[in-house]
Chain A
Amino acid sequence: EAGVAQSPRYKIIEKRQSVAFWCNPISGHATLYWYQQILGQGPKLLIQFQNNGVVDDSQLPKDRFSAERLKGVDSTLKIQPAKLEDSAVYLCASSLDYTGEQFFGPGTRLTVL
């Protein structure tokens, strides 16, 4: 069974630039999560989708971050404009439903200069 796929794996940008991350969850998984993991900290949930609807985006900085999950499958997370403090690993995870085990992708390491 294929796991959660993310791209790119690494991204370096300058502050005030825009960046987008892509996630392809495990086939059939209804729930998709985006996390931000700053170096030395635990992952922080940014947004949770159930199919293509948002369940929880309370910790998403909506002035600069946006996410969508069109057709309830793939998802993209965008940052516009990026700040230095956005440097982190962005993790995508999926689960069969909102109570199920989360399977994590390898993450995208973002460096903002």
Chain B
Amino acid sequence: AQSVTQLDSHVSVSEGTPVLLRCNYSSSYSPSLFWYVQHPNKGLQLLLKYTSAATLVKGINGFEAEFKKSETSFHLTKPSAHMSDAAEYFCVVRNPGYSSASKIIFGSGTRLSIRP
């Protein structure tokens, strides 16, 4: 069975400081991992994805994530937060393959707040 756990439901940082959103996963396969962002009243947008290539993945808007198999983690980081980063962030795990086992699981989300 696969699962994904976002360790913080809410993270608050000051503008200009680093952002860390934590995600741990569980999978019997070598999964693909994603981070999506959901701004208020806007659709979900892909930030970045890991699909068994480089373990450090760079995404849009200065975000990046590192896949650590030994820790089963895929934490999202950004060196310097901007007010426009305030949103809900979802970590997603997807098993490979074209079968009923290829399920897509979203985490429960982390709400990121930015203090001026």
Contacts and interface: CB of A to CB of B under 8 A. Distances in A.
Interface of A: 3-4, 33, 35, 40-45, 48, 50, 55-56, 58, 91, 93, 98-99, 101-102, 104-107
B106 A42 contact: yes
Nearest to A41: B108
A42 B108 contact: yes
B83 interface: no
Contacts of B25: none
Interface residues of B, number: 19
Q: Interface residues of A: mostly helix, strand, loop or mixed?
A: loop
A105 B43 CA distance: 6
Given A43-B90, A56-B100, A104 B106 contact: no
A4 B44 CA distance: 11
Contacts of B108: 40-42
B99 to A, nearest CB: 8
A101 B45 CA distance: 10
Contacts of B43: 3-4, 91, 104-107
B82 interface: no
Interface string B29-47: 0001000000000111110
Contacts of A104: 43-45
Contacts of B49: 101
B109 A98 contact: no
Interface in B89-116: 90, 98, 100, 102-109
A35 B44 CA distance: 12
29 contacts: A33-B104, A35-B106, A41-B108, A41-B109, A42-B90, A42-B106, A42-B107, A43-B44, A43-B90, A45-B103, A45-B106, A48-B104, A50-B98, A55-B100, A55-B102, A56-B100, A56-B103, A91-B43, A98-B98, A98-B102, A99-B32, A99-B51, A102-B44, A102-B46, A104-B43, A104-B45, A106-B42, A106-B43, A107-B43
